[in-house]
Amino acid sequence: MNYPSKILEKAVDAISSLPGIGKKTALRMALHLIYDKNDKASILSSSLSELRNGVKFCSICHSISDENVCAICSTSSRNKRLLCIVENVRDMMAIEDTGSFVGLYHILGGLISPLEGVSPSDLNIDSLLSRLEKNEVEEIIMAISPTIDGDTTTFYISKKISHLNLKMTSIARGVSFGGELEYADEFTLGRSISARLPYKLGQ
Amino acid sequence: MNYPSKILEKAVDAISSLPGIGKKTALRMALHLIYDKNDKASILSSSLSELRNGVKFCSICHSISDENVCAICSTSSRNKRLLCIVENVRDMMAIEDTGSFVGLYHILGGLISPLEGVSPSDLNIDSLLSRLEKNEVEEIIMAISPTIDGDTTTFYISKKISHLNLKMTSIARGVSFGGELEYADEFTLGRSISARLPYKLGQ
């Protein structure tokens, strides 16, 4: 593409480095910002700079935070005996949005993946173990994707905590609410039959 | 959505103000920037700030430029007798990318649209007329979309320049190269038959 301005070209290159954004979309965005009357470009520029310099990571659960300890870890209203293990911040936010979980979180920052060269030492597993050794947690809930990497990670953690007297559970899998049985994949449907639950009125 | 950090929320709001970006995509991008090792966030932030403060508009053709007069208008190698009228910078870049045009451009900055409240005075039509009155241009090529607004704009300009001795042409419309006849819309196909051209070997 021939750009009429070097500054525009630089901005298009920077925008298209974002995931899922190609050169054409980046150009559309850059031109939108140039002609925008509300000065979106300055707001975006300053908030991105703040994002880079101002965001902290919680020293307990490794979530993104404005302080050294995040809002969830520092509140007294959450159940400290329940610990939910998630892969990343997005998964934590998804669970938090359901409003069904009152315990604390621990963010691994990835999954063990020999193929991609991610070993247990690259993840927040050591800090998880030292958290668990304080004997405050009674149950850990593995909310990890059921992929090969996810299963490997869950297995590794289960081995590492086997000496502790801990209940370890995994989030339920099955046919989603509103999902049609005929469109569910065989593995999910099979598992939802073998893990069937007693029928209760109102559930 | 519950955000673990106010700074993250502010960044997601700013990113999702871009065209075609929703909150979920913006969150994915913000997290990508937080965890990125190459400091993309700072590069993006500085290039957006530069985009806002550094970009100029060419005083002749109204294109985006790094100088007061753009590279195309200031070069002596282009044919100053040919002037191509386009709606916006993206259309100009698309034509420039074909490499088939050696003349100059004039960017209207929009189309006349009574429905959206865009009148001729909102566009760069006055500067076009004063450019044409210098008698350097011999032919103006209307490269405007064949919509109601586009046709209105072309008609308005044709009336405004009727007193000048100018050749006015419009870019050819028809079935695209590689396009199958059966999938072309009736209007395009009809027009490509009525505007048929003599067959020449090698074209």
Question: Which residue of B10, B31, B88 is in closest CB contact with A89?
Answer: B31
Number of H helices, E strands in chain A: 8, 6
CB count, 10 Å around CB of A41?
24
pLDDT beyond 60 at B17: yes
How does B182-202 read in b/e, with b if 16+ C-beta sit within 10 Å? Answer: eebeeeebebbeeeeeeeeee
pLDDT in tens, A60-101: 999 999 999 999 999 999 999 999 999 999 999 999 998 889
- Check: pTM over 0.90? Answer yes or no: no
Q: Which carries the bigger pLDDT value, residue A169 or residue A196?
A: A169
Counting residues of chain B whose pLDDT is more than 70, the rounded percentage is 99
Tell me what the pLDDT averaged over chain A comes to. 90
**A32 vs B contacts (CB less than 8 Å):** 18-19
Most B-contacting residue of A1, A6, A8 (CB-CB within 10 A), to test interface = A8
CA distance A85 to A62: 11
**A88 vs B contacts (CB less than 8 Å):** 31
**Residue B138: both structure tokens together:** 């011999």
CA distance A42 to A78: 39
CA distance A203 to A199: 8
Task: Answer whether A111's CB lies under 8 Å from A152's CB.
Answer: yes
Lowest mean pLDDT among A81-85, A184-188, B83-87: A184-188
- Looking at residue B39, what is its pLDDT? 86
pLDDT mean over A15-21? 92
pLDDT in tens, A135-163: 889 999 999 988 899 999 999 999 999 88
Question: Which residue of B5, B44, B51 is in closest CB contact with A64?
Answer: B5
CA distance B120 to B160: 11
> Which has the closest alpha carbon to B18: A91, A66, A47, A173?
A47
Work out whether strand B64-65 and strand B56-57 pair parallel, antiparallel, or are unpaired. Answer: antiparallel
CA distance A82 to B141: 71
pLDDT in tens, B104-133: 999 999 999 999 999 999 999 999 999 999
Counting residues of chain A whose pLDDT is more than 90, the rounded percentage is 67
CB contact under 8 A, B66 and A7: yes
Helices (H), chain A: 6-15, 23-35, 40-54, 71-74, 89-98, 125-132, 148-160, 186-194
* Dihedral angle over CA of A62, A65, A71, A73, nearest 10: 10
pLDDT beyond 80 at A21: yes
- Looking at residue A175, what is its pLDDT? 80
**A15 vs B contacts (CB less than 8 Å):** 44
**Strands, E assignment, chain B:** 56-57, 64-65, 79-86, 103-107, 139-143, 167-170
* pLDDT band, very low/low/confident/very high, at B165 (cuts 50, 70, 90): confident
